[in-house]
């Protein structure tokens, strides 16, 4: 009996001490007992069904502007309401080469990784359609550009490749020279529809994605596509393998020394030049990984399974490989594509 009584006394003492401690902590934080209770209630609110709400996931409704005026954002005839609806089509279906006349959304941002036909039928279809497609693409590009092969006297790239003379974009009828074009105002050029640098679409927009030039596929034949080829002459592309200059070691010039950077040689090239974190990041960029249309499944555009690594960066930025999503209406290439850096050829 004495032991039971002693246990009750100890329990009451501990309870009293715990309550005093909690009150003391709350008072030190500047809360009165009633304020503390209100704070606890606010921290754990109830949702409509009575369960605790997760504030870290809670977001109030989106703000919507009131009395907002409709605008074409200065696009005029190029505003989507004044363009044709984006043409439908599944993987491998032809689309117009002047896709800049079209606008709108695709049916869905996601697509099935399953081919619409069997693998054998897919390969047969791609190889059968490719010659006609590329003949039309070459004709289209010949109408847009004059690839004469003329070089710019005395101008060479870092590795010695000649820079081609430009501009090569053909002028529309009614404009005799670029000097005459320069005399026209922007409004007059638009009114007469004589702007020579209209956007280019991917040659096969419904499938789209990476398309490598021949100088790349000769080194990496696994990336040659069975459905479409690159559409610009090699003479008008930057040199390959590309030079690589480090802003932290400008005194070294091209640190790659004419080598394509790969998982097999990056350590030899960059050891002592990059930080440990940069070396790890570069290693991850160089690690081959399967991607859309370039992978080990049958949902691909190469005869043999393939994967890409720094190819997406090296080739796109320095060999002008194009990268376009099927839902886009124009190419989204690297900065050198179409001469944004090496301006003269365009």
Is the per-residue pLDDT at 332 higher than 50?
A: no
> Residue 204 carries which DSSP code?
T
CB 119, CB 231: distance < 8 Å:
no
* Highest averaged pLDDT of the listed ranges 62-66, 78-82, 120-124, 255-259: 120-124
Among 185, 145, 188, 187, which Cα is nearest to 167's? 145
Average predicted confidence (pLDDT) for the chain: 80
According to DSSP, the residues that pair with 322 across neighbouring strands are: 211
d(C-alpha 203, C-alpha 129), whole Å:
12
For 245-296, the pLDDT digits (tens) are 999 999 999 999 989 898 999 999 999 999 999 999 999 888 888 888 888 9
Q: What is the 3-state secondary structure (H, E, C) of 42-87?
A: HHCCECCCCCECCHHHCCCCCCCCCCCCCCCCCCHHHCHHHCEECC
Asked if residues 168 and 145 have their Cβ atoms less than 8 Å apart, the reply is yes
Q: How confident is the model at residue 209 (pLDDT cuts 50, 70, 90)?
A: confident
Does 279 map to a domain? yes
Residue 293 lies in a domain: yes
CB 210 within 8 A of CB 113: no
pTM: 0.72
Nearest in space to 147 (alpha carbons), one of 135, 155, 156, 138: 138
The mean per-residue pLDDT over the stretch 39-68 comes to 67
3-state secondary structure of 155: strand
Residue 3 lies in a domain: no
Portion of the chain with pLDDT greater than 70, in percent: 73
Q: Write out the residue range of the structural domain in which residue 147 sits.
A: 119-339
What φ, ψ does residue 78 adopt, rounded to 5°? Answer: -90, 0
Residue 333 within any structural domain of the chain: yes
- Is residue 128 one of the residues assigned to a domain? yes
Do strands 84-85 and 151-156 pair parallel, antiparallel, or not at all (unpaired)?
Answer: unpaired
In a domain, 295, yes or no: yes
Count the domains in the chain: 1
**pLDDT at 328 exceeding the cut of 90:** no
Is residue 212 within 8 A of residue 220, CB to CB? The reply is yes
pLDDT per residue as tens digits for the range 298-308: 999 999 998 87
Report how far apart, in Å, the C-alpha atoms of 45 and of each of 52, 53, 331 are: 6, 6, 50
With CA atoms as reference, report the closest residue to 273 among 238, 248, 302: 248
Q: What would the two tokens of residue 274 be?
A: 């990059």
pLDDT of residue 10: 46
Ramachandran angles phi, psi of 192, nearest 5°: -85, -5
> Is there a domain that residue 107 lies in?
no
Lowest mean pLDDT among 66-70, 77-81, 295-299, 313-317: 313-317
d(CA 47, CA 212): 54
Per-residue pLDDT band for 184 (boundaries 50, 70, 90) equals: very high
pLDDT tens for 117-174 read: 999 999 999 999 999 999 999 999 999 999 999 999 999 998 899 999 999 999 999 8
The H-or-E segment that residue 102 falls in is: strand 102-103
């Amino acid at each position: 009996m004495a032991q039971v009584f002693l246990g009750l006394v100890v329990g009451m003492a501990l309870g009293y001490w715990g309550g005093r401690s909690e009150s003391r902590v709350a008072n030190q934080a500047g809360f009165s007992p009633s304020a503390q209770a209100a704070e606890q209630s606010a921290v754990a609110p109830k949702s409509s069904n009575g369960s605790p709400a997760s504030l870290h996931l809670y977001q109030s409704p989106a703000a919507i502007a009131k009395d907002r005026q409709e605008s074409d954002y200065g696009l005029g005839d190029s505003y989507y309401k004044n363009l044709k609806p984006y043409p439908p089509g599944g993987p491998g279906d032809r689309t117009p080469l002047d896709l800049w006349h079209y606008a709108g959304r695709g049916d869905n941002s996601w697509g099935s990784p399953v081919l619409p036909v069997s693998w054998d039928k897919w390969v047969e279809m791609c190889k059968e359609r490719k010659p006609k497609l590329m003949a039309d693409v070459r004709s289209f590009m010949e109408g847009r550009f004059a690839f004469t092969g003329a070089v710019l006297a005395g101008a060479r790239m870092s590795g010695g490749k000649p820079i081609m003379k430009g501009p090569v974009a053909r002028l529309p009828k009614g404009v005799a020279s670029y000097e005459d074009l320069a005399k026209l105002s922007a409004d007059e050029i638009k009114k007469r529809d004589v702007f020579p640098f209209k956007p280019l679409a991917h040659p096969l927009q419904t499938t789209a994605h990476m398309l490598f030039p021949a100088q790349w596929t000769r080194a990496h034949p696994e990336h040659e596509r069975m459905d479409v080829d690159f559409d610009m002459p090699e003479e008008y592309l930057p040199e390959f393998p590309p030079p690589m200059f480090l802003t932290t070691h400008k005194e070294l010039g091209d640190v790659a020394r004419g080598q394509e950077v790969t998982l097999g040689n990056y350590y030899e090239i960059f050891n002592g030049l990059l930080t440990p974190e940069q070396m790890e990041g570069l290693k991850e960029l160089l690690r081959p990984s399967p991607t859309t249309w370039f992978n080990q499944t049958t949902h691909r555009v190469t005869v043999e399974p393939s994967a890409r690594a720094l190819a997406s960066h090296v080739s796109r930025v320095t060999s002008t490989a194009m990268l376009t999503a099927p839902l886009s209406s124009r190419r989204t290439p690297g900065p050198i594509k179409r001469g944004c850096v090496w301006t003269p050829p365009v």
